[in-house]
Structure 1
Amino acid sequence: MAGVKRSLGTFLGHDDTLLRPNGHSRPKTVHHNHGIPRDNLDDSTPQAHSFKLSDVLQSQPPSRATSRANSRANSQSAAPSNTDQHDGLTRTPSPTFPPLTGHVPDFSPDASMILVGMRGAGKSTLAIMASSAMDRKVIDLEPAFQRSMGLSSAAFKSKHGSSECYTQQAKVLQSILQRHSTGCILVCSWMESRVQSLLREFAATNPVIHIVRDFDAIKNHLKIRDGSKVQSLLDVSNAIFRSCTNFEFFNVTEKASKSSLSRESLTQRSPAPYLTLKHVERHFLKFLSLVYPAGTIPFTDSAFPLSRIPAEERNFTYATSIPLSDVIKDSVDVEEHVIGADVVQIVVHDLAEHAEQGTLTSEASGKLLANITKGVGIVRRSTILPTILHLFLPHTASDEVLRVYLDLVHHSVRLAPEMMTVDLRLEDVHISRILSVRKRTKMIGNCFITTDPPSWESPIWMSWYKKANNLGCHLARLIRPAVTIEDNFRIHYLKTSVAALQGPKIPLISYNSGPLGRNSQAFNRILTVVRPDSLERVNPRPPITPSITTVGATEALFSSFVYDQMKLYVIGANVSYSLSPAMHKAALKACGLPHTYEPVSCASLRGIKHLIEDPEFGGGSIGLPFKVEIITLTHSLSKHARAIGAVNTLIPIRSLNDDGTIPSGAAFFDSVNRSGPIKALYGENTDWIGIRACIRRGLSPANAVVSSTCGLVIGAGGMARATVYAMLQVGIKNIVIYNRTPKNAEKMVSHFTQVLERKDHGLLSAGSEHSRFHVIESIEDAWPAEFRLPTVIVSCIPTHRIGNVPAPELILPNEWLGSRTGGVAIEWGYKTLDTPFLAQFRAESHRGWVSMDGLDILPEQGFAQFELFTGRRAPRRLMRRMVFEAYPVEEGKSNFKELQPRLQSLDEQET
């Protein structure tokens, strides 16, 4: 990673150098004590049976996990020298410092952040990545110290003593914090007590993020053979940094590709060497987008339709449940497990297991805290879906179990999950305290009574709901096991009562668990917890495995006539070779959707009139040459389609607003999966999403988009327009266009000039109005001197013979490929992969050029189409696989074996 840091710093213009090296009580087991009394539960309010934690929390010392680490920190520095103790500057935190859990402020978008953690955690690399994305200056405290004092910390300590070194470190940090409270990313590995105090003060107004990494990565970086010593260092540093930070990020160690595929192969593409870093970058920026106000990080907002609509606002959404223990053991393929789901729920049942077995030692609770951090990091790295972090609190628990639960909940907020649960049996004061530090995390007030549950007619359930609503939870989740089939009908009593309440109401998740409760699970409208289809075994004891899968729940909706089977098509002049049917059919089947998806080739749009008037028409993928002409059949266009001037997705609308307009947000999907008269046709364009994803994935960190980045577009048709739009979306403001007919290129420039002049379109990045265009009239022309050489090149012309027109033999002048750091070259077509254009860039791969083709674009734009057609999240890996499986090396023969390595190197997290 040191080489990575140097190369990134060099490419991005940073002159900062790398960071340089520079339990006393017996574990006590916990046994169950009395919990919520059962005698009067049915006719009592929740508050009457809340856990009585106030006395315990006021009278007992800090959490045992913290105390153990702090005491170990003290023992690590036993018998320090007098100079080491001078001015109170020691290398350990005060034993009474608990993890920082105070109110987390609403940060300003330009608030500086500090990344702290052990050496080897990856702070410098993450800082450079965030710096590029957020346009911020990186300040590494260790080089800053050396510039200020003329010596490194190690040399200064050797010359002047530890105490003086620590004093000067604190002064350097204080000076930098005062001068750079905005617009910067600071990197710090110092742990002395005065530094801790400064970090703690800074955390009152700014993000201070603890970067952690797995044991092996730290051990390898430090080159320490003694594993126990490394673990002790981790325990001490974690306790110190958690006492003075307000967020925590787990830096997942990526496995470098071991592919030895030939770079000369047309279909086997060696993964770009920077791909590992792209995964890390995407993961960290996703985390920061949950820390800072929405929109702070440019170009990171998801382009997929369902990503912008919260799952709790849509109908029949599902949360796939994955135990934390399975994530930590690496026994679960997250991307496969979440097929058909809208959210992934990480279930932490370890606390209950330790309590039941009497093994809740301080070591066990500390390990659990670390595992939660790691588990959230792994899941977030593996999927674009939002996460729910669910900490299970036993029905009967001792005061110590309750204390650990609260510690874990407060720690979990530091991880910035999109959602997490809080047990409604807690006292109001503790729930309110948790809600006050949640930042942007949505809290689900949760109550799952598994033993002798009261009937749904009992007022206790309404009391739980009102408690969640009044305290400020964002959702309420109330669940009980079904005892009889009739319980599935009695649940409507609660739902009707909630609907009748006056005033603001939070969404209610409520159903019966267990096999007898599957009816209520299928008809619960939001965030029903489901199990993966791959998990056949159902555990009837806590943690109770959900009794229904996403496929089972979806099929129940169709078999009960809530949803209808629909007809989907890909439409074009000649779509017989289209890979879309294979891709969409497999996705529909995987999600339990009975729709059909068929190719329709026709000479004119008159040939599809009967299709789009069919009451069962569910939507269409529009191919060449109809992407512009189809607009004449639409009643409304999306902002994207209007800006591009072309449509590749046609959606039937069966319900309009009172004013006759197309519904937006969640209401837009009310027509999905339902047959009936079509009141309007809506045109969307997802081609730009596909090309945007490829640009983002193909650009190395060295070629990160900056104000001078230049893109080259070849062609001037509908695909070229989508490409220009995608470039503007990722922040490329300098665009050169080459087309055999310059007049058409000029028309395209004129179109986008008008788009950029609109002051109310709200579609593109800040500063897009300053974009520049240039049309090259001949391939023999010199590259325009006022534009940098391109690092993004996209060919949007056909790659095969069309009628009597032969396939073009496009080869660009070598001068145009002169970027010192290479770039990404993309070709839209996929009918032919062996083209002169792609061959030219494969030959330049040693100079940093990465080539991509239509097999990369097609699935990305298809994900968005699938969401629009079905209202379900696309099974991304499956759709990519089906594109590769269906691509023929020759007539009727699959080419999957050759293409499979490309599938393995792709990042499923692209948004």
Structure 2
Amino acid sequence: MSVVTQLEQAALSSPLKLETAQQSTKLRAFPADASIVLIGSRGSGKRSLGFIGATHLGRRFITEDHYFEEATGSSRGLFIRKHGAQEFYRRNVEVLRQMLDQNRTGCIIECGMASLAKDAQKALFEYSKSNPVIYITRNSQRIRQLLNLGQEEASRLETADLAHRLCSNMEYYNMHDPSCDKSDGLATPPEHGSPNVSSRLKYAKEDFSGFLDFLTGQGVIRSGFESPFSLAALPPEFRAYTYALSVRMASIPELDLEQLEAGADAVQLKIDAWRPDIQKFMGKQVATIRRKLGVPIIFHVEEYVFGDAVLTRAEKEDIYLGLLEYGLRLGVEYIVVDLQWSPDRVAQLIQRSGRTKVIGHYLARDDINWGWEDESRMIQYRKAQNLGCDMVRFVRATSAESDNVAVRNFIRKIEAIPSHLPIIAYNLGPYGRASLISNRIFTPVTHPTMNTTVSKSQMRRFLPTAKESMDALYQMSILDPLHFYHLGASVFYSLSPAMHTAAYQVCGMSHDFVSLQVSSVEDIHRLCQNPQFGGAAITQPYKVEVTKRIAAKSYHAKAIGAVNTLLPLRMLPGAVPLDGSTESLLRQANQRSKAGPVVAYYGDNTDFIGIQTCLRRNVSPRNVVQPSKTTGLVIGAGGMARAAIYAMMQLGCRKIFLFNRTIEHAENVARHFNSWASGLSTDGDIVRVLKSREEPWPASFRHPTMIASCVPARTVGNEGPANFEMPVQWLGSPTGGVVAELAYFPLITPLIKQMRSFQQDSNIPWVIVDGLEVLPEQAIAQFELMTGRKAPKQRMRHEVLQEHHRYEHS
């Protein structure tokens, strides 16, 4: 019998039992640098996720198996053969305790089979009081296939695995990643965590990186620091007119979620039915929403989740709060707490909420004895505030149109209170739509494709879609139609208007977006002085020159020295837009979709986001960025080349070479970045210039594994097409890498043709990224900066492909 099997049987026969009262010690308020521990069964994907997490957070990756071998001088199998099972169990737990105690910060720790032992689980439980301990789950059938298990063995493994839930404080459902279906093997890093496999796992990277950003708070801190206009800098509850798509958990398997993304700032996941495997099922649905829609989740347990079960109020409260506790384990961004339950129990739940925000909720289904003017509403508001809720929601079923005026007066009354909680308040029923339209935070909405599903509460039939709500705001002149532009010397083949226009249409916005050829920065300034100017995409050759006319820039634009996104700054009541303060810019950001005199400009850069996203998504674990080793190569010296250099630096690359036909331009760009990044590298300059295509690759540097070609394939202004091909002596990486071609007219450039041929002849795993993969990623970020709305990503990606196809065949 194997060591693993013995431990599984031991866990099954004597699972760890913890007192319910002890669970309240798990507060989930972790220091940002607290080490993160991953536990779970064999085949759950802990090691791959651990490697992804360590790379994303820039942390040391520790695997228990490798740590045991270093601590004891032998592998687990050899140790048990030499010393016997009893001594192995003792030493195994001892090593695990040592591993945890000595690595409390700055690490991602993957626990192997030691986590099945009772004493090890006690140690993990204690560790969970100060650090995140994440239980990784996965589809049981997938684990069975990966491990080639029989039914009996698989059942034993699954039962033993449940003990992990008791010694952890977070949970993550590891969805299957179709990007690795054709890869060699299981894409699992080896014992020591070195990247020597070649699966991309691109969806898993995005999913788990986002989960860790939320858990550590890194995502909000980073985005807020970088740009006050980013969506993360201003959470949905502080933005004007945000929408929560209301989705029943039981209906998710029947829905094509990607069709539902338009206009949703969040998804309200309604836990609507009990089932024996409800915890794992909820985990899977949360993971599905994250992957398909990528928006915050509002976790809402419905009263009818109890079904027809005959339960006491105390039993219902236990189940209800237990389900909300599980939502906290899953790391959802928001939970809805019905404040009809015991204040003490609710306060304890809120204390354990960590980074999850709590929406205190009051629902009145009977409109006879419930009025918006009643003083009891203010008492309920103060109760929510005293309990520690982050916001409060009042919902009333009504059949009186006059209640819509009453609810607006109630909201104004709350907003007049200094330092008030964000307030959500609306009526539901045949006359409630006007109150839904005027509600500003997380208005519940439906989607046309969901009309065939049946809501148990029967309230969905009263909900508008996000598009209908936005349409109404423009019709009522609450929001203004604005003009957006793509400006440059050669924009005839621009795909931007198609992408942005399609996004406006699907989101219900009354804006327009056109491409205009300009011959100077003064032309740009004149166009952008229109009071209805909403924003402009700036392209060659003005990305650097236009920075001279900008009053405030994002952190990125300053670092890159180039701008591709221009936003208006208007004179707002009580605001001085020219002071450039974060508070002033946040106020400007919350007035997007409002017209008015333009007094200054804000500049940002999303080019680097498109490049960075595609490089990170397509780099293999074998070529993961290591600052002391990884080399990047950028072709060109214009605004896009600057963005590519910055993208590589953001990924951690500290050795970047630049090649351009005009050496002087390349040297200017190199000086800019070496001056800006002085101190980031201990090996001298970060950016170095290659002066000739004929020179061999510098012998003291590794060959590049990240390459970005940023030269146009068509004539721009007085510049002829580059038609660049890579010197073969620069393609010496034995592990291949990623080549991103940013040009897309024509799509198959000389470089793309060359790399496809080289890849085939050499059998080296180069990943080739064309311009149509990069373009929509930067446009998505640009749309969100310009409008303050979540972009309909799938629609924009689809539209760019369709429009490019029309151009190529016209």
What is the TM-score of this pair, normalised by structure 2?
0.89
Moved more, 606-615 or 557-566: 606-615
- 1:558 maps to 2:479: no
Task: After TM superposition, give the deviation of residue 135 of structure 1 in Å.
Answer: 4.0
- 1:791 maps to 2:705: yes
Q: Which of 263, 288, 292 is the equivalent residue of 2:216?
A: 292
Change (3 A) 1:298 1:704: farther
Aligned residue for 2:171, secondary structure, equals strand
Task: After TM superposition, give the deviation of residue 186 of structure 1 in Å.
Answer: 3.2
- 1:882 maps to 2:802: no
The residue correspondences of 1:772-783 to structure 2 (distance < 5 A) are: 772-783=686-697
Q: Which of 612, 617, 626 is the equivalent residue of 1:692?
A: 612
1:661 is matched with 579
Q: Distance in 2 between matches of 1:598 and 1:717?
A: 24
Q: Distance in 2 between matches of 1:258 and 1:115?
A: 24
Q: Which of 132, 138, 142 is the equivalent residue of 1:207?
A: 132
Change (3 A) 1:767 1:286: farther
- 1:376 maps to 2:292: no
Q: Which of 201, 225, 239 is the equivalent residue of 1:277?
A: 201
Q: Is the 8 A contact 1:827 1:838 kept in 2?
A: yes
Task: After TM superposition, give the deviation of residue 104 of structure 1 in Å.
Answer: 2.5
Residues 847-905 of structure 1 show CA distances to partners (whole Å, capped at 9, x for unaligned) of 12112232122211111221232221111111111111011476554xxxxxxxxxxxx
Residues 313-350 of structure 1 show CA distances to partners (whole Å, capped at 9, x for unaligned) of 110011112211122x2x22333212111112211111
1:547 is matched with 463
1:418 is matched with 333
Q: Distance in 1 between matches of 2:173 and 2:455?
A: 33
Aligned residue for 1:496, secondary structure, equals helix
Task: After TM superposition, give the deviation of residue 310 of structure 1 in Å.
Answer: 0.4
The residue correspondences of 1:170-569 to structure 2 (distance < 5 A) are: 170-184=93-107, 185-189=109-113, 190-226=115-151, 230-231=154-155, 233-238=157-162, 240-256=163-179, 277-294=201-218, 305-327=230-252, 329=253, 331-351=254-274, 364=275, 366-394=276-304, 398-399=312-313, 400-452=315-367, 454-502=370-418, 504-537=419-452, 539=454, 541-542=456-457, 544-545=459-460, 547-569=463-485
Q: Is the 8 A contact 2:273 2:305 kept in 1?
A: no
2:189 is matched with none
- 1:603 maps to 2:522: no
Change (3 A) 1:259 1:602: farther
Aligned residue for 1:619, secondary structure, equals strand
Q: Which of 55, 59, 63 is the equivalent residue of 1:132?
A: 55
The letter of the residue matching 2:337 is: V
2:186 is matched with none
Task: After TM superposition, give the deviation of residue 664 of structure 1 in Å.
Answer: 4.6
Q: Distance in 2 between matches of 1:500 and 1:427?
A: 29
Aligned residue for 2:268, secondary structure, equals strand
Q: Distance in 2 between matches of 1:665 and 1:235?
A: 53
The letter of the residue matching 1:748 is: V
Change (3 A) 1:111 1:313: same
Q: Which of 640, 657, 672 is the equivalent residue of 1:751?
A: 672
User: Unpaired runs of 5+ in structure 2?
Assistant: 184-196
Q: Is the 8 A contact 1:19 1:140 kept in 2?
A: no
Q: Is the 8 A contact 2:404 2:434 kept in 1?
A: yes
Change (3 A) 1:636 1:201: closer
Change (3 A) 1:614 1:218: same
Change (3 A) 1:594 1:471: same
Aligned residue for 1:534, secondary structure, equals helix
1:727 is matched with 648
Aligned residue for 1:243, secondary structure, equals helix
Residues 420-454 of structure 1 show CA distances to partners (whole Å, capped at 9, x for unaligned) of 11111122211111111111111111122223461
The letter of the residue matching 1:754 is: S
Q: Distance in 2 between matches of 1:560 and 1:19?
A: 70
Q: Is the 8 A contact 2:200 2:618 kept in 1?
A: no
Aligned residue for 2:472, secondary structure, equals helix
Change (3 A) 1:883 1:19: farther
Q: Which of 592, 599, 611 is the equivalent residue of 1:679?
A: 599
The letter of the residue matching 1:796 is: C
Q: Distance in 2 between matches of 1:727 and 1:162?
A: 49
The residue correspondences of 1:30-41 to structure 2 (distance < 5 A) are: none
Change (3 A) 1:533 1:630: farther
Change (3 A) 1:157 1:606: closer
- 1:742 maps to 2:663: yes
Task: After TM superposition, give the deviation of residue 521 of structure 1 in Å.
Answer: 0.7
Task: After TM superposition, give the deviation of residue 180 of structure 1 in Å.
Answer: 3.0
The letter of the residue matching 1:751 is: H
The letter of the residue matching 2:346 is: I
Q: Is the 8 A contact 1:419 1:443 kept in 2?
A: yes
Aligned residue for 2:450, secondary structure, equals coil
Moved more, 406-415 or 747-756: 747-756
Task: After TM superposition, give the deviation of residue 299 of structure 1 in Å.
Answer: 10
Residues 182-229 of structure 1 show CA distances to partners (whole Å, capped at 9, x for unaligned) of 3431323332221121111111222211111112112223433437x6
The letter of the residue matching 1:681 is: Y
Q: Distance in 2 between matches of 1:622 and 1:797?
A: 16
The letter of the residue matching 2:43 is: G
The letter of the residue matching 1:753 is: N
The residue correspondences of 1:588-599 to structure 2 (distance < 5 A) are: 588-599=504-515
Change (3 A) 1:803 1:673: closer
Residues 454-511 of structure 1 show CA distances to partners (whole Å, capped at 9, x for unaligned) of 1111223222211111111111111111211111111123213312335x32101111
1:622 is matched with 538
Aligned residue for 1:175, secondary structure, equals helix
Q: Is the 8 A contact 1:515 1:547 kept in 2?
A: no
Task: After TM superposition, give the deviation of residue 386 of structure 1 in Å.
Answer: 1.5
The letter of the residue matching 1:166 is: Y
Q: Which of 702, 713, 716 is the equivalent residue of 2:637?
A: 716
Aligned residue for 2:579, secondary structure, equals coil
Q: Which of 833, 847, 872 is the equivalent residue of 2:747?
A: 833
Q: Distance in 2 between matches of 1:423 and 1:841?
A: 58
Change (3 A) 1:621 1:296: closer
Q: Distance in 2 between matches of 1:122 and 1:791?
A: 26
The letter of the residue matching 1:446 is: H
The letter of the residue matching 1:317 is: T
Q: Is the 8 A contact 1:341 1:550 kept in 2?
A: yes
The letter of the residue matching 1:285 is: S
Q: Distance in 2 between matches of 1:375 and 1:202?
A: 28
1:48 is matched with none
Q: Is the 8 A contact 1:863 1:876 kept in 2?
A: yes
Q: Is the 8 A contact 1:789 1:819 kept in 2?
A: yes
Moved more, 492-501 or 373-382: 492-501
- 1:704 maps to 2:624: yes
Aligned residue for 2:785, secondary structure, equals helix
Q: Percent identity?
A: 35
Moved more, 486-495 or 799-808: 799-808
The letter of the residue matching 2:93 is: A
Residues 262-288 of structure 1 show CA distances to partners (whole Å, capped at 9, x for unaligned) of xxxxxxxxxxx9665121122122212
Moved more, 450-459 or 515-524: 450-459
Q: Distance in 1 between matches of 2:525 and 2:87?
A: 83
1:356 is matched with none
